[in-house]
Each structure stands twice: as structure tokens, then as C-alpha cells.
């Protein structure tokens, strides 16, 4: 099946942090694939900066190595064309050198779309925005892309947004959450709003509960220093998991227009029942992994990786969240994420209520309640679990089968990485899949009391053995309600 490619307008993309991990693993491969598919206009340029003293030729060699490492079958002609688009300009954003050269190159084409991608630590977002403003590089066609984390609490997020807002207007700011660029996440919207089937059932009368799991099997490894200042709640829940929750729970927007969608997501965030210290104690479990086994080998605990034994940072969190509105009243949303868990899987499970009455005798077997499973990784796909009659003449025996739509198998096309779509949306100026400032504020408003409560109690996170599904308290959190975590990928 051929992929439909809609060309974007001519652009100059400037990547700050062009020698970093994100550029290496995600941005360069994403841009290569868009170029390979013919989406990037002939004249489009990619300008890359960092402090390193590279010539453009040296950077192209570095970029080629990155692409060879991350992409199996590179097309030689496409590679040459793509590398030819790259120009390197050395800039230490804290100093003055380099900005004039960048300005000179950009001002050769003042009328094309100009996008700045800040693939750097958030500490220097403000400095870069100020530098861009001072160098006079913002025009009507300019956009800026901000990576997570946006602040470490509501106050710091506000300060950061204000700093960026001094140079860019809200419609020019693209706060990226790459989960929103995933094929399945967008399919969640297609599923809900392009089918008449689900909407009548999509409420407390028919849905028992929702689970959102983002599980990683890896530990923090070399990122322990950074991770220790964040933790699972800030790193995963404040952004990715709450965004997924919004897409499951939001009312149908009037259109796919960016503000229509974001208005509805904002309403969900504002309807999240707030946490008091008592509710934090009752409905939230935080954990920290201890030494254990992963992929068959022994692995160290978090504190050993960190090299300190006094960290209270959580590498796991499970939350029973509630949305206080008509649609979702009484439907728990169980959220959980962690490192060094039993497997790497991200999925949303929508668990429907039981049938009201069974007409089948005990010989038919157990009737399992319907579930809709939306899998984000490792294999993107959607699965509806329904009961059918076991085939054959053995009487009326029932069994659960998945109506499975694995995208990789269903459509014989490469599944594009989220960054491919999101970068092209930036060039198009389409903010639908990017977070608006008030969404970030509302998410922090819900998260802040949890952080404050943890910091007041100074309780040690509950230990869990690496390679398991987290602390036993997380299992108790859901089983107390007579439910279980969905762990069939384990």
C-alpha cells in the first residue's frame, strides 16, 4: 500500500542541540525519512548548531554515522540529497559568537517558514529564545519547538512559558509531546470520532475502568543524574500519561482544529479530582527499583546506579485518578509507569462493564468482559476483545478472542516515527498535536499537590525488585477495588 505524502511549504529548520542524543536518535532519522518520501521541498534547508567546533562537512559525516546506526536500509541517493541540506553553525548560546552567521544564512530566505527546534536542556531554552529575539530572527513565519520537561512544577513551568512568551507568541510555540505523534494515539481519535460504534458506550454506564500503562524494562543507566531531579511523576505522568488520559476522556471536539481539540483536553485536565495528602496516601503508590534481573541478567538497583543511598526519587508510580464530570463519574483511571519493570509496553486498556445477565450455563465457561486495548509500543495496534462460541460441535462453549488490528501487519507500510509527523506539523503550523500553555498549567495544577505531599512526608518510596511489575502496593491499589492490572504482555 502506498503512503500518501502531502508536501509542506518550503522551510529553514534550525536545530539547536544538533549533536545531542535526540538529534542523533530521532530528529535526523525522522527528517531523512520525510526527505526519502519526497515530502521535503527541494530548496528546504536544515541548519544545525551546538558548541562543538564542526565544519558543515564534519557535521555531515557525524550525521551520516547517526543515520547508518539507526536506519537499516539507507537509500544512497536519498542520503546524499539529505546530507546536502545540512549546514552547521557553531554557537555557544550563552555567548555572542555565531548568531550573526546564523542570521546571515536565514536572512537569505526571509519569506520561507522558519522553525527553531530546541533539542537542548530546558535550562537554556530561555537563553536561546532571547538570542533568537536579539538577533532579530523572528518573523511572521517563525515557529519554535520546545521539548519536555516544561518546568519541574507549576511555578517553574509558568516562568519558562513567560520567558519563551517574551519572544514568541502562543501560536508560534510548539510544545512537543511525542506520544501524541504516535500512529495509535491518533487512531484513538479516529476510533472514537470516526465510528458510530463506540461513542454511545463511551461513558460510566458502560465502561468499568481505564488503565494506562507506560512500562519500561530499562533502568536509568547513564541518565541517573538527570532522572534523580525528575522522577516518574514528572518524567511520564505530567505529560505523556495525562495527554493519553485526555484523548480517552475528552468530549468530541467540534473539529480537528487545534484549539477545538485542545479546549476539550483542557476540560478533562480541569475535571481531574484533586489530591489531598490523605488521598495521595490512599490512591498513589510510588516505588524505587532494587537490584534484580532484566532480560535474563542481573541488574543493579536505582541507588547503586545513582551512586547515593539517600534518594527519595520514584522510579515507579501508580495512581488511581478520577475525573469529576458527568461522563466519567465513578470510573477510575488507573495510571502506572515505571523503569525496570517486567517488560517494555505502553498501552491503554478500556475495560467495559460485565453483561447484565448470562443466558449460558456453567458448561459454557467464564464470560470475560469486553476490553479495548490500544497498544502504543512495542507493536502499535488496536485490539477489541470479544466473546465468541468456540468453533466445532462441542456444544456452546465460549471463548475470548481479539479482533486484532496490528498496524504493522494490517498495512504493509513502514510505521513512521512520531517525530516525522510532528516535525512536518510544525512546518505546516498545525498545533493540534502540541500542548497549549493552559494545558501545561492545568496538568501541573493536578501534579503539584502530589509532589508537595511527598515532599512533606519524606516517606521512602516502596522498593520493588527490578524485572517485576512494581511494588506489591501497586497490585493492592487496584485489587482492593476488585480489579487487576492488564499484564498479558508480560
**Residues designated as active site:** 240
Kindly tell me which of 322 and 425 has the beta carbon lying closer to ligand NAP: 425
The 276-315 contact track toward ligand NAP, x by CB under 6 A, reads ----------------------------------------
93: contact with ligand NAP by CB under 6 A = yes
Using CB under 6 A, which of the segments 88-96, 201-209, 234-242, 442-450 binds ligand NAP? 88-96
The contact pattern for ligand NAP, residues 113-152, with x = CB under 6 A and - = no contact, is: ------xxxx-x----------------------xx----
Which residue's entry shows cell 519493570?
A: 341
Of 417, 433, 412, which is closest to residue 33 (Cα–Cα)? Answer: 417
Q: Least CB distance from residue 329 to ligand NAP, whole Å?
A: 35
CB atoms within 10 A of CB 3: 10
- Annotated binding-site residues read 51, 92-93, 148, 178, 182, 216, 235, 339
Q: How far is CA 438 from CA 267, 269, 369, 428, in A?
A: 10, 10, 37, 22
Out of 41, 51, 379, 406, point to the residue binding ligand NAP (CB under 6 A). 51
* Helices and strands counted in the chain (H then E): 18, 18
* CB 142 to ligand NAP: min, Å: 19
C-beta separation of 149 from 176 below 8 A: no
Closest approach, Cβ 152 to ligand NAP, in A, equals: 12
Helix (H) or strand (E) holding 450, with range, is: helix 437-457
Distance CA 7, CA 364 (A): 55
> Least separation, in Å, of the C-beta of 145 and ligand NAP?
10
How many residues form the binding site for ligand NAP (CB under 6 A)?
21
Give the three-class secondary structure for 370.
coil
Per CB under 6 A, the list member of 47, 91, 233, 246 interacting with ligand NAP is 91
Do 286 and 462 contact (CB within 8 A), yes or no? yes
Of 91-99, 246-254, 346-354, 443-451, which segment contacts ligand NAP by CB under 6 A? Answer: 91-99
Contact set for ligand NAP, span 148-167 (CB under 6 A): 148
Site string for ligand NAP, 10-49 (x = CB under 6 A): -------xxxxxx--x------------------------
Task: Decide whether 19 or 431 has the Cβ nearer to ligand NAP.
Answer: 19
Residues forming the annotated binding site for substrate? Answer: 178, 182, 216, 235, 339
What distance in Å separates the CA atoms of residue 400 and residue 230, rounded to the nearest whole number?
41
Beta carbon nearer to ligand NAP, 236 or 261: 236
> Distances from the Cα of 42 to the Cαs of 35, 48, 76, 113, 132, in angstroms?
9, 18, 17, 14, 26
94 is a site residue for ligand NAP (CB under 6 A): yes
Upstream peptide bond of 186 is cis (omega within 30 degrees of 0): no
SS3 content of the chain, % helix, strand, coil (to 5): 40, 20, 40
Angstrom distance (rounded) from CA 466 to CA 340: 5
Give the Cα-Cα-Cα angle 21, 444, 209 (nearest 5 degrees).
95
Task: Tell me if 265 sits within 8 A of 439, measured CB to CB.
Answer: yes
| Residue placing its CB nearer to ligand NAP in the complex, 53 or 310 | 53
State how far the Cα of 149 lies from the Cα of 444, in Å rounded to an integer. Answer: 12
Which range in 89-97, 214-222, 343-351, 439-447 contacts ligand NAP by CB under 6 A?
89-97
Using alpha carbons, select from 252, 17, 222, 235 the residue that is nearest to residue 119.
17
Residues in binding site for NADP(+): 51, 92-93, 148
DSSP assignment letter at 305: H
Q: How far apart are CA 336 and CA 376, in angstroms?
A: 14
Q: Which residue is nearest to ligand NAP (CB)?
A: 20
Residue 464 host element (H or E): strand 462-465
Looking at beta carbons only, is 25 or 462 nearer to ligand NAP? Answer: 25
**Closer residue to ligand NAP (CB): 145 or 321:** 145
Nearer to ligand NAP, 53 or 73 (CB): 53
Residues found near ligand NAP in the complex (CB under 6 A): 17-22, 25, 50-52, 91-94, 119-122, 124, 147-148
Amino acid at each position: 500500500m502506498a503512503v500518501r505524502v502531502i508536501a509542506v511549504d518550503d522551510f529553514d529548520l534550525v536545530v539547536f542541540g544538533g549533536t545531542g542524543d535526540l538529534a542523533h536518535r530521532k530528529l535526523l532519522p525522522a527528517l531523512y525519512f520525510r526527505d526519502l518520501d519526497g515530502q521535503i521541498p527541494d530548496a528546504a534547508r536544515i541548519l544545525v548548531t551546538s558548541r562543538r567546533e564542526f565544519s558543515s562537512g564534519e557535521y555531515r559525516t557525524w550525521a551520516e554515522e547517526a543515520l547508518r546506526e539507526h536506519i537499516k536500509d539507507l537509500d544512497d541517493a536519498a542520503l546524499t540529497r539529505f546530507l546536502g541540506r545540512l549546514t552547521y553553525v557553531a554557537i555557544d548560546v550563552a555567548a555572542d559568537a555565531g548568531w550573526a552567521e546564523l542570521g546571515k544564512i536565514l536572512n537569505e530566505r526571509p519569506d520561507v517558514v522558519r522553525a527553531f527546534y530546541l533539542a537542548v536542556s530546558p535550562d537554556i531554552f530561555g537563553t536561546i529564545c532571547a538570542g533568537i529575539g536579539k538577533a532579530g530572527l523572528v518573523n511572521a513565519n517563525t515557529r519554535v519547538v520546545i521539548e519536555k520537561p516544561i518546568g519541574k512544577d507549576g511555578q517553574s513551568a509558568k516562568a519558562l512559558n513567560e520567558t519563551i512568551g517574551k519572544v514568541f507568541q502562543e501560536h508560534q510555540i510548539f510544545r512537543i509531546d511525542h506520544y501524541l505523534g504516535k500512529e495509535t494515539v491518533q487512531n484513538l481519535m479516529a476510533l472514537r470520532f470516526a465510528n458510530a460504534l463506540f461513542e454511545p458506550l463511551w461513558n460510566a454506564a458502560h465502561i468499568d475502568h481505564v488503565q494506562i500503562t507506560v512500562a519500561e524494562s530499562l533502568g536509568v543507566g547513564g541518565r541517573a543524574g538527570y532522572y534523580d531531579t525528575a522522577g516518574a511523576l514528572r518524567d511520564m505522568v505530567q505529560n505523556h500519561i495525562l495527554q493519553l488520559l485526555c484523548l480517552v476522556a475528552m468530549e468530541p471536539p467540534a473539529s480537528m482544529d487545534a484549539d477545538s481539540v485542545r479546549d476539550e483536553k483542557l476540560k478533562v485536565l480541569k475535571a481531574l479530582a484533586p489530591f489531598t495528602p490523605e488521598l495521595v496516601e490512599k490512591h498513589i503508590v510510588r516505588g524505587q527499583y532494587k537490584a534484580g534481573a532484566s532480560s535474563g541478567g542481573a541488574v543493579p538497583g536505582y541507588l547503586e546506579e545513582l551512586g547515593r543511598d539517600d534518594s527519595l526519587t520514584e522510579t515507579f508510580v501508580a495512581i488511581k485518578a478520577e475525573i469529576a464530570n458527568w461522563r466519567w463519574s465513578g470510573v477510575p483511571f488507573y495510571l502506572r509507569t515505571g523503569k525496570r519493570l517486567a517488560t517494555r509496553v505502553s498501552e491503554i486498556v478500556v475495560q467495559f462493564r460485565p453483561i447484565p445477565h448470562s443466558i449460558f450455563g456453567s458448561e459454557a465457561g467464564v464470560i470475560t468482559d469486553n476490553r479495548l486495548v490500544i497498544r502504543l509500543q512495542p507493536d502499535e495496534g488496536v485490539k477489541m476483545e470479544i466473546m465468541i462460541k468456540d468453533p466445532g460441535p462441542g456444544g456452546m462453549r465460549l471463548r475470548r478472542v481479539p479482533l486484532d488490528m496490528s498496524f504493522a501487519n494490517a498495512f504493509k507500510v513502514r510505521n513512521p516515527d512520531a517525530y516525522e509527523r510532528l516535525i512536518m506539523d510544525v512546518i505546516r503550523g498545525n498545533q493540534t498535536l502540541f500542548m497549549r500553555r493552559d494545558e501545561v498549567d492545568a496538568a501541573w495544577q493536578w501534579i503539584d499537590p502530589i509532589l508537595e505531599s511527598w515532599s512533606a512526608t519524606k516517606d521512602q518510596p516502596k522498593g520493588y525488585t527490578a524485572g517485576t511489575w512494581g511494588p506489591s502496593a501497586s497490585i493492592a491499589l487496584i485489587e482492593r477495588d476488585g480489579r487487576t492490572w492488564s499484564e498479558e504482555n508480560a
